[in-house]
Amino acid sequence: MPITFDEHSKALTIHTNHTTYQMQVDDIGCLLHLYYGRRTEGVMDYVPSRFDRGTSASPYEKAADRGYSLDFLPQEFPVQGAGDMRSPLLVVRDAEGAFGCDLRYVRHEIHAGKYELEGLPAVYAGADDDAETLSVTLRDERLGLEVELLYGVLPHLDVICRAAVVRNAGKARIVVEKIQSACLDFVHGDFSLISFPGRHGMERVPERTAVRQLSCVVDSAKGSSSHQQNPLLILADSDATETAGRCWAMEFVYSGSFKGEAARDQYGQTRLQLGLSDELFSYPLEPGAQLVAPEVIMTYSAVGLDLLSHNLHRCVREHVCRGYWRDRVRPVLINSWEAFYFDFDGDRLVEFAKLAKRVGIELLVVDDGWFADRHDDKRSLGDWTVNEAKLGGTLAQLIAAVNDVGLQFGIWMEPEMVSEESELYRAHPDWALVIPGKQPVLGRNQLVLDLSRPEVCDNVFDQICGVLDQGPVSYLKWDYNRLIIDIYSHVAADQGKVLYDYVKGLYSVLERVNERYPELLIEGCAGGGGRFDAGMLYYTPQIWCSDNTDAIDRLYIQYGTSFGYPCSTMGAHVSACPNEMSGRVTPLSTRATVAEAGTFGYELDLKELPEETMDKIQLQISWHKRIAPLVQQGRYHRLSSPLADPVCAWEQVREDGSLALVSAVVMEDHAYGTPHFVVPRGLTSGARYRDAERGVVYDADALMEVGIPLPMTMKAGSYRSFTYLLERV
């Protein structure tokens, strides 16, 4: 069984196929964390060291035992007010305004299957998975406060999920000032924290920071997971590499404000924790009410970052993403935005579709500008009525015309937003998050609708249905182009609830859309990659990776994204050159090689391209359709880093090792330079592989030892790319 309880030692142990996680109820009911690492047997209650540490305080029952303090014992769910002066997971304030609680073990239960969370996304188990759930209840008798810790175990993935439910089982109001979902305490170790910071147009570029006696905080208080940080944390041995060293991952299944922390204490112990942000958060619970802390996905690798990512990829791809499109190859699309911006009409779109059909594109997406009086970004968000004068007819007629060409039809919406210059805002100004008496802070000339209110969610859902019901819409690009700054709901008594309730409202709308349109492909977007997280992937199986489509910048963005998210989730397109953001010129072949590592599509005006380029695009699409199942379902390896190496290389390998795609982009060229070698991984030892395009046969072990030399064809220009499709023979 994955979960066991030892009556003698009071140890709760969770086993996956290759890892063990262990905690213990001690003699006064405190829940101590003992171990998370490679699979082992036995009780590790010898791990916590108990001796006098001077000023560290003890619980009342242990006043005579100077060797007992929660300030240095490793804990499973540390709280403020129990003597642990490190960063807690829970801070509460009682009806008298006093801070502090003291949680003790009450009971535990073990259930078959994986738990679910009310109103929130969570990892799910398949019918054939041997998943189990551990529920541990802790209680503060003074407050009548109960916290249920939930552990969902998917043994074959080496994944353990954690969430928490805070319940007010007392008689007076309490206020939750901080709640995080998971922590790991390590009694020793020299660690680095790998986080994924960035900005709009350069999201999720890895950063490695030594963990010292100084708190490393990775957070967003912006109402979304943000461009600037990502709710994915990796704690690794300081010398860990792709293929060596211990590493632990925490990935938050949530799309709003979050906070992750890593710090070493005064005794050389390290704590890693992740959960909701406590900034702009203050959540009251009346008697009988509860608050659910969203899920954190945890996994461990004893052999480096490569395996850690494989565990996360399988979990996200197969147990977070859902529905019709989870395992299907996505259609090759072309988006109208970089081709036309707001300047289009129905005839122009149909001609665009005809050119797209000619080269093998399967889906036309009409981006911003098709509705109301929307000819710039200053107006009309919230008024999702078709501008029939601009389109030259109804939306149904446009969809039919595109379908007649032989393409599927997709459309862009930004349902969470409203323009001041709109009929919706004039009718319901209180539906926007605006502080009374304060001029609102505008982003892209728009405000955010208050999705913490059910009636606003109902209106958003009805307007989406009003668009999608006009014809066979195959794809919806769901955008979100500004941050939440003015936090005030006109119906909320406690504004500290709003950001959390907003995200739950967003999820409720997305769930209803998925239920009503089960075959609709929804791509998430937030100014590109500003809300790229496992929470959104539960509802949208792919997310636009970044508004920056420059192929070289995308190498950094997609490299960082790959640490926690599979290729099947990454929206990636070929765009025009010079690139509109960077001004860089890269070969069409390189732009395609980079985009082929994601869901693949185009962002350019086909009618401006010469015949030779159109022919090349047709070949690119044929190639992509050949490799797409491997890209989407294959095991992904980072073969080199764009942050450190002159060549950025990556590989997708079929799970049985029978097929591998090796891709590389040369980022640096120097006169009379040294040759570059790309060394694959994950091939079948002892086998031979044929290069499907060149006919060369390689020995697998030699390839994984020495690698493939990239041709030194300097006349080809900068940023050359290479692909090798290796078939086992």
Instruction: Quote the CA–CA distance of 640 and 644 in Å, as a whole number.
Output: 8
Instruction: Quote the CA–CA distance of 395 and 380 in Å, as a whole number.
Output: 17
The answer to whether residue 672 scores a pLDDT higher than 80 is no
How many other C-beta atoms lie within 10 A of the C-beta of residue 120? 18
pLDDT at 471: 97
Give the pLDDT confidence of 15-43 residue by residue, as tens digits.
999 999 999 999 999 999 999 999 999 99
Place 293 in a pLDDT band, splitting at 50, 70 and 90.
Answer: very high
Residue type at 318? E
Place 715 in a pLDDT band, splitting at 50, 70 and 90.
Answer: low
The answer to whether residue 92 scores a pLDDT higher than 80 is yes
Q: Indicate the helix (H) or strand (E) that contains 318.
A: helix 305-319
DSSP label at residue 79: B
> Do 361 and 602 form a contact (C-beta atoms < 8 A)?
yes
CATH architecture classification, 333-544 = Alpha-Beta Barrel (3.20)
Q: Indicate the helix (H) or strand (E) that contains 635.
A: strand 635-638
pLDDT at 54: 84
Which CATH number, 3.20.20.70, 2.70.98.60, 3.90.660.10, 2.40.50.140, labels domain 3-50+66-319? 2.70.98.60
Fold of 647-728: Immunoglobulin-like (2.60.40)
Catalytic residue from among 219, 306, 368, 479 = 479
For residue 138, give the nearest of 59, 63, 28, 43 by alpha carbon.
28
Catalytic residue from among 71, 185, 450, 547 = 547
pLDDT at 668: 87
Per 3-state DSSP, what percentage of the chain is helix, strand, and coil (rounded to 5)?
Answer: 20, 30, 45
The answer to whether residue 714 scores a pLDDT higher than 70 is no
Q: Which residues are 450's β-sheet partners? A: none
Q: In the predicted model, what is the mean pLDDT of the chain? A: 96
Instruction: Quote the CA–CA distance of 532 and 562 in Å, as a whole number.
Output: 12
Alpha helix (H) residue ranges in 394-497: 395-405, 423-427, 454-468
Residue type at 223? G
Question: What average pLDDT does this structure show over 323-330?
Answer: 97
What is the bridge-based pairing of β-strands 333-335 and 363-366? parallel
Angle formed by the axes of helices 346-359 and 611-633, nearest 10°: 70
Return the structure tokens found at 219. Answer: 């957070």
Q: Do domains 3-50+66-319 and 647-728 have the same CATH topology?
A: no
The answer to whether residue 501 scores a pLDDT higher than 80 is yes
Report the alpha-carbon angle 524-527-533, nearest 5.
45
Return the structure tokens found at 372. Answer: 């109301």
pLDDT at 52: 87
Place 674 in a pLDDT band, splitting at 50, 70 and 90.
Answer: confident
Residue type at 139? R
Question: What average pLDDT does this structure show over 539-558?
Answer: 98
Residue type at 338? E
Instruction: Quote the CA–CA distance of 2 and 144 in Å, as a whole number.
Output: 32
Q: What is the largest CA-CA distance in the chain?
A: 86
Give the pLDDT confidence of 356-415 residue by residue, as tens digits.
999 999 999 999 999 999 999 999 999 999 999 999 999 999 999 999 999 999 999 999
Question: What average pLDDT does this structure show over 646-667?
Answer: 97
Instruction: Quote the CA–CA distance of 703 and 321 in Å, as a whole number.
Output: 34
CA dist 235 → 37, 164, 272, 308 (Å): 12, 22, 8, 11
* Percent of the chain whose predicted confidence (pLDDT) is above 70: 99
Cis amide bond preceding 578, omega within 30: yes
pLDDT at 716: 63
Place 128 in a pLDDT band, splitting at 50, 70 and 90.
Answer: confident
pLDDT at 717: 77
Q: Is 479 part of the annotated catalytic residue set?
A: yes
3-state secondary structure of 537: helix
- Domain ranges for the chain, please list them: 3-50+66-319, 333-544, 647-728
Give the pLDDT confidence of 401-429 residue by residue, as tens digits.
999 999 999 999 999 999 999 999 999 99
Give CA 592 to chain center in angstroms: 24
Question: What average pLDDT does this structure show over 57-63?
Answer: 92
pLDDT at 385: 97
Give the pLDDT confidence of 503-517 residue by residue, as tens digits.
999 999 999 999 999
Question: What average pLDDT does this structure show over 539-565?
Answer: 98
The answer to whether residue 713 scores a pLDDT higher than 80 is no
Q: Is 367 part of the annotated catalytic residue set?
A: no
| DSSP letters for 143-175 | TTEEEEEEEEEEGGGTEEEEEEEEEE-SSS-EE
Give the pLDDT confidence of 577-629 residue by residue, as tens digits.
999 999 999 999 999 999 999 999 999 999 999 999 999 999 999 999 999 99
Report the alpha-carbon angle 402-526-417, nearest 5.
85
Question: What average pLDDT does this structure show over 266-290?
Answer: 97
Higher pLDDT among residues 326 and 674, named by residue: 326
